Amino acid sequence: MVGLGLRREMLDELLTDVPEQIDFFEVAPENWLKLGGRYKKQFKSLTNAHNFVCHGLSLSIGSPEPLDIDFIKALKGFFKEHDIRRYSEHLSYCSGKGHMYDLMPIPFTEQAIKHVVTRIKQVQDILEQPLTIENVSYYAAPGQELSELEFTTEILLQADCKLLLDVNNIYVNSINHGYNAVEFLEGLPSDRVDYIHIAGHYNEADDLIVDTHGADVIDPVWALLDKTYEFHGVSPTLLERDFNIPPMDVLVKELDKITQLQSKHGFIKQKRA
C-alpha cells in the first residue's frame, strides 16, 4: 500500500480525482480538528471515501509537563468521526511551560524511557486504540546514555507499541551523527513496524542535513527504503511533502517508485475497484 500526506492546498484537485496510486492519506489531526464549514465538509467527503491515518504534531510525548488530556479526548472524538484507526506521533516533545512549535530531542536515558513509556500507555488507555511512535530526526543529544537504537527499541518493547519507521530520518541522523544507516535500520525490531515514511530533505552542509519534507526523495534514501523492505518486509509506505509541493503528476512519479520497490519485494498491489 502507498500513501500521500494530504495538505490543504491539494484538496480541490483530490476532490475531483484521486490518482489510483494513492491507497491512503495521512493528515495531522491538529490541522483539521477544529475546522468547520466548507473545509470540514470537504474533508469528511474524503474520509468517507478513502482510508485515512493520522500523524500528530503536538502530543509532546516526551515533555516533562502533564499530558493534555482534553486534547487527547478531542482526538478520540475526531478519530471516531472519521473512522481513523491508526494514529502516530513523534518520539520527541514540543512543549514545556509553553508550546515551542518544534520537535525537541528526548534525552537517550533510562529515566526518559520510563517517563515516555508511562505516557504512551496513558494515551493508549484514553484513546482505546494503539499509538504508533515515529523515530525522529534530531540535531543534538543532551545527556545521552544510550544509543538512539537502544533508546527507541526499549520504548517500543516496554510500551508494547508500534513503530512508524521514517526512512529519511534514519538517513538524516546517520549523516548528522556519523552512524551507519543500514546497520541502524537492520537493528530495529521487524515485528514492531506499523508503517513507513519517506521524504526529502535539505543539505545545509556536507555533515548537516535538515529534515524539511520540502524536496524530492534522493537516491540514497530510496536505496534505504529498498533495504527496509529487505530487512522488515513490505509495510504501508507514505510520501511526505510539506512545502514546495509540486503538481500531482510529479508526486505520482514518486508514489510509483514506492510501488515498484514494493513489487520487487513481492507485494502485488490490488487494482482499485
- Condensed to tens digits (0 to 9), the pLDDT of residues 81-108 reads 999 999 999 997 664 454 455 566 788 9
Residue 18: is its pLDDT beyond 90?
A: yes
- At a CB cut-off of 8 Å and minimum separation 6, what does 42 contact? 11, 15
Q: What is the spatial distance between Cα 92 and Cα 203, in angstroms, rounded to a whole number?
A: 22
Q: What is the pLDDT of residue 144?
A: 82
Q: What is the spatial distance between Cα 151 and Cα 174, in angstroms, rounded to a whole number?
A: 16
- The domain limits of the chain are 2-264
Kindly state the cell numbers that stand for 266.
513481492
- For the residues of 27-94, what is the DSSP string, one character each? E-GGGTTT--HHHHHHHHHHHHHSEEEEE-SS--TT-SSPP-HHHHHHHHHHHHHTT---EEEESSEE
3-state secondary structure (DSSP) of residue 146 = coil
Q: What is the pLDDT of residue 271?
A: 62
Q: What is the pLDDT of residue 239?
A: 97
Superfamily of structural domain 2-264: Divalent-metal-dependent TIM barrel enzymes (3.20.20.150)
| Number of residues in the chain | 273
Per DSSP, the chain holds a count of helices (H) and strands (E) of 9, 12
Q: What is the pLDDT of residue 202?
A: 65
- Condensed to tens digits (0 to 9), the pLDDT of residues 94-148 reads 644 544 555 667 889 999 999 999 999 999 999 999 999 999 888 777 778 999 9
Q: What is the spatial distance between Cα 272 and Cα 256, in angstroms, rounded to a whole number?
A: 15
Q: What is the pLDDT of residue 217?
A: 92
